[in-house]
Structure 1
Amino acid sequence: MTATSQPDPQDQAPSSASQVETPPDVAIDGLENELAQVIAERDANFDKLLRTQADFENYRKRVNKDRDEDRKFAPFGLIRDLLPALDNLRRAVDAATAAGETGTIVQGVSMVLKQIDEVFERNGAKPIVSTGTAFDPNLHEAIAQVPSPAHEPMTVLQEAERGYTLHERVIRPSKVIVSSKPQ
């Protein structure tokens, strides 16, 4: 056969190869789009990581704060439960002193009361100072009102039962008698 009647295999190869291959501009555009998607996904994952780290740090701080609060107020229940016994010891000393007793038992119970007060104070529990102050419903519980021209209304005249706070949190409010306007 002649050269003109049959196509040359060398001429056909490049034309068939060019039909299969994509043009370089299209391939680059596809890769750039894929790269942009990967970069966006990376940025989103990095943002999620930063948020997760911040959430974990906030969680850690909250747990530490809660643990510190728990330690700070751990004696709350014990002190609250001891207060009625402490009140009874005070009443016993007051009654004995009013009856003129000054013996060793009264002195011993007074020393125990002083030690308990010191233990309370070391643990952050303090008595609420009431007599002569303005009535504060957050610190006081009024059990009676007495007309008094010598005092402003709602001034604490007498403390019937001592109240206590633990690190500024009220364990038990003071039970008090307050003044009212004379009628």
Structure 2
Amino acid sequence: MADEKPELDPVQTPPESGAPTVAEQLQAALAERDQYKEKWTRTLADLENFRKRIYREMDDERKYQSLPLLKSLLPVFDGLDRAVFAASQSKNFDDLLNGLLMTIKQIDGALAGHGAKAIVAEGQPFDPNLHEAVSQVPSKEFAPMTVINDVERGYTLHDRVVRPSKVIVSTAAAE
């Protein structure tokens, strides 16, 4: 029995080899797993926080998207107030009319600054994409299907029609 080798535990290697034991390797693998799991959990939390922040910013963007338009229209309303005040002081119709014309120019400028333009309709051929006919009038002066009068201005925003112009269209004159 002196020749018998002592039985080794299968989990351990002989201490003289210097290599880590299977138990040590297992502990190292478990520690590495725990480390990766913690990183993964933190990354998931960071992603969720990022999503919440993006949704909050998108909501704010939608909520305040009209702010630049409002800022550009406020001077127009100030001009209207001044025109009404000046007209009430002077009782002069011409002053009121001039003030209102200036205000219309301010409105057009403010809208143009945001990509909106009035549709030019008068004298143009009728286009159902840009115009809405409210009536037809026989005319010798205009060719048939020509816009005679712009009843209500239409507007486009960049390349999209916001509101078509309401127009009166010419027809062939009765002879």
Q: TM-score, normalised by structure 1?
A: 0.49
Structure with the greater alpha carbon radius of gyration: 1
1:66 aligned onto 2:62: yes
Give 5+ residue unaligned stretches, structure 1. 1-14, 79-103
1:44 aligned onto 2:36: no
Counterpart Cα distance in 1 of 2:127 and 2:47:
45
Name the count of aligned residue pairs.
Answer: 137
1:108 aligned onto 2:95: yes
Which residue among 29, 33, 37 is the counterpart of 2:25?
A: 29
Counterpart Cα distance in 1 of 2:173 and 2:29:
88
Counterpart Cα distance in 2 of 1:160 and 1:72:
29
1:42 aligned partner, one-letter code: E
Give me the CA root mean square deviation. 4.4
Q: Which residue of 1 aligns with 2:15?
A: none
Q: Which has the higher contact order (CA 8 A, sep 6+)?
A: 1
Over 3 Å counting, the alpha-carbon distance change for 1:32 and 1:180 in structure 2 is farther
Q: Is the 8 A contact 2:126 2:169 kept in 1?
A: yes
Q: Is the 8 A contact 2:156 2:163 kept in 1?
A: yes
Give 5+ residue unaligned stretches, structure 2. 1-5, 13-19, 75-90
Over 3 Å counting, the alpha-carbon distance change for 1:66 and 1:134 in structure 2 is farther
Question: Identity rate of aligned residues, in percent?
Answer: 31
Over 3 Å counting, the alpha-carbon distance change for 1:143 and 1:32 in structure 2 is same
Q: Is the 8 A contact 1:162 1:175 kept in 2?
A: yes
Bigger helix share: 1
Q: In the TM superposition, what are the counterparts of 1:171-182 in structure 2 within 5 Å?
A: 173-179=164-170
